[in-house]
Chain A
Amino acid sequence: MTQVLERPPVAPGGAPPAARRAAHRRVLLEWIAVHALGIAAALFFTLPFVFVVLTSLTSDQQALTRDLWPHTWEWGNYRTVLDTPGFLTWWRNTLLYAGLGTALTVASSVPVAYALAKFRFRGRHLSLLLVISMMMLPPQVIVIPMYLFWAKQLDLSGTLWPLIVPMAFGDAFSIFLLRQFLLTIPDEYLDAARVDGCGELRTLLRVVLPMARPGIAAVALFQFFYAWNDYFGPQIYASENPGAWTLSYGLESFKGAHHTDWNLTMAATVLVMAPVILVFFFAQKAFVEGVTLTGVKG
């Protein structure tokens, strides 16, 4: 606060003291107004989390009332949720889907993005247009033939493989985002590597990849979150087999089984939210960079 107050007022240097004081006051008032609004907004964004956590710690009886502040702190609710049959399996499945899916996406999308960003070839523009179209395609558009393909021809419904395998063939959003990032790497670096006798693959692995690390981190995060949050995919392919459910899908059925126990449902909700928030705190910079990269660079 002092930092702001000590700043010279906006009024021109030779102004009389009264004008200076008025300008001073305006700066102070603006500071107060902005920060009051900021706190109001912060309450809007954080109170839902606070209420969810508080409710997750109330007793079964209290959860049926409007009384929000826990009379007794029931940490055991989390134990109960974790002991629910299936919950840990859903965790494992989610990690498999998100982890393996992310690794496959990055491995298959990087070379494509590199070609789109740095090679000159006929059809390059068309390919990019098609990548963007794929990116904008709602998954429901192609789900009927895809389901028939995986379920009737390959007999893989009731597993997560129909969701994981396609990630080995490039993800449109990841390709697009990586391409945007690779464009910012100057061609001189690549030329230098080629002059030194590197083939394209070596150039990609040794020169481009280290420089593209922030872009790759952003793509990996987005993809991990996508799989973690995906509801439609598991609903289509895994719903018939609870052993293949993911957290996002299982959470809703948990609510169905505990329809009056808001405390347990909120504890489960916290357990699904927490990992994502933790990952975010460790990788905040890469994430925010990625959000800005998706549309507005250029």
Chain B
Amino acid sequence: MTTSMTANTLRAKRRSSALRTLAFMSPWLVGFGVFFAYPLVSTVYFSLMRYDGFGVPEFRGLDNWVYVFQDYPLFWPALRNTLWLVLVMVTCRVVFGLGVGLLITKIRTGAGVFRTLFYLPYLAPPVAATLAFVFLLNPGTGPVNSVLEGLGVSAPGWFTDAAWSKPALTALALWGVGDLMVIFMAALLDVPREQYEAAELDGASAWQRFRFVTLPNISPIVLFAVVTGVIQTMQYYTQPLVAGKVASGIIGGSGQSFEPGYPDKSTLTLPQLVYNLGFQRFDYGSACVVALVLFALAMAFTALLMRRRGGLIQAGDR
């Protein structure tokens, strides 16, 4: 077809198709420029400035960077908490999500009802779910501790105890495991039946079937769950913040005297530092330093996700 065209009509056609693409892409092109590229460049700029929102930003070189890494008392605790959450919370969520996914594929009677019940907590709005858990786990009147003490177990202070606040957040995260359950369920149903039958003929035990048939088949999904879990942990903000605020309110009697990361910095995460530095201390420059650390971490794991799982992009280019 193209051979019969003159060079001119061909060029015209190309130009109109380029215009068409441009037109369809335009909302995002504007969005990309105004809400991604510009603020990102601007964040780098502010990270080198001293600026409190009034007057003119003052160039200070790497001062903000030195301050955040050396003198800002909340940075390292927040980073340590993030590491804890990555190691414990993400692992627990993936294992539990896989377990619940396996369970739901085995349930024969009332599978639909079970699936809905397992999935619902994932939908609970984070602020509401966090409030609910602070109530359920509160040491004074909370039902969980009533039960534990009834059983003669000395019950922990959960959100009011620095050693137990992150396990309590983990419990909250496990309650909302519905997203992983659905993803694992879909993956488990895709494992070819014949492989199970072959393994069974070879006399493989249930554990061996899981280890040598199920796991290799779903390993890309496990990796996907782990990496997206890590990325979500980098953004973990609402639950730890609300839990800390509300739990400190129980103790102090009012939410006003909030100490970031209550109790004892144990619920601090990196995104909270951006808020603390930028909107409580009005040190926009240092807030941008933390923002860039967050950016580097998030992008590193995103790159990992895309390299190890080409599927994310190539899904349609088969």
Is chain B found bound to chain A in the same assembly? yes
Q: Which residues of A contact B (CB under 8 A)?
A: 1, 3-4, 30-31, 34-35, 37-38, 41-42, 44-46, 48-49, 51-52, 55, 63-66, 68, 108-109, 111-112, 114-117, 119, 121, 125, 127-134, 136-149, 152, 166, 168-170, 175, 179-180, 183-184, 200, 225, 228-229, 231-232, 235-236, 247-249, 251-253, 255-256, 259, 262, 265-266, 269, 272-273, 276-277, 280, 284, 288, 291-292, 295-298
* CB-CB nearest in chain A for B36: A134
B18 near A121 with CB under 8 A, answer yes
The complex places the Cα of A25 from the Cα of B136 at a distance, in Å, of 40
Distance in angstroms from B127 CB to nearest chain A CB is: 5
Q: B-side binding surface: helix, strand, loop or mixed?
A: helix
In the complex the two chains form, is A48's CB within 8 Å of B126's CB?
no
- The A-contacting residues of B in range 119-147, CB under 8 angstroms, are 119-121, 123-129, 131-133, 135-136, 141, 143, 146
- Which of B65-73, B86-94, B259-267, B310-318 is found at the contact surface with chain A? B310-318
B313 to chain A, nearest CB (A): 6
With a cutoff of 8 Å between Cβ atoms, the chain B residues found around residue A68 in the complex are: 143, 146
- How many whole Å from A52's CB to the nearest CB in chain B? 5
User: Do B294 and A45 touch (CB < 8 A)?
Assistant: no
Question: Is B128 in contact with A273, judged by CB distance below 8 angstroms?
Answer: yes
Q: Which A residues are CB-close (under 8 A) to B118?
A: 41-42, 45
Contact B249 A170 (CB under 8 A): no
For A262, list chain B residues within 8 Å (CB). Answer: 135, 141
Q: Is B211 an interface residue (CB 8 A)?
A: no
A30–B318 alpha-carbon span in the complex (Å): 40
Question: What's the least CB distance linking A101 to chain B, in Å?
Answer: 14
Residues of chain A within 8 A of B166, CB atoms compared: none
Out of B128, B245, B249, B291, name the residue touching A143 (CB < 8 Å).
B291
Inter-chain contacts of B116 with A (CB < 8 A): 284
* Contact status of A41 and B31, CB under 8 A, knowing A114-B24, A295-B183: no
Residue of A nearest to B121 (CB): A45
Q: Is B279 an interface residue (CB 8 A)?
A: yes
- Closest-by-CB residue of B relative to A171 is B31
6 A–B contacts, CB within 8 A, in A order: A112-B25, A136-B299, A144-B46, A152-B53, A288-B182, A292-B186
Q: Which residues 230-244 of B have a CB within 8 angstroms of A?
A: 231, 234-235, 237-238, 241-242
Find chain A residues with CB under 8 A from B42 CB. 142, 144-145
Using Cβ atoms and an 8 Å threshold, which residues of chain B touch A141?
40, 43, 274, 291-292, 294-295, 298
Decide if B311 touches A298 in the complex (CB within 8 Å). Answer: yes
Cβ-defined contact, B123 with A276, below 8 A = yes
What does the 1/0 interface line of B163-192 toward A look like (CB < 8 Å)? 000000000000100010011001100000
Decide yes or no: A252 and B127 within 8 Å by CB, A142-B36, A143-B291 being known contacts. Answer: yes
| Complex contact B124–A144 (CB within 8 A) | no
B86 to chain A, nearest CB (A): 14
B152 touches A (CB below 8 Å): no
Known contacts A140-B274, A277-B123; can you find 15 more A-B pairs with CB under 8 A?
A4-B109, A45-B118, A45-B120, A115-B24, A132-B306, A142-B39, A148-B53, A169-B35, A183-B315, A200-B20, A236-B279, A256-B249, A259-B253, A295-B221, A298-B315
A residues within 8 A CB of B183?
291-292, 295-296
Whether the Cβ atoms of B27 and A255 lie closer than 8 Å is no
Given the interface pairs A41-B103, A169-B28, the reply to whether A136 lies near B316 with Cβ below 8 Å is no
Min CB distance A278 to B, Å, is: 10
Q: Which of A148, A179, A225 meets B284, CB within 8 Å?
A: A148
Is B288 part of the contact surface with A, judged by Cβ < 8 Å? Answer: yes
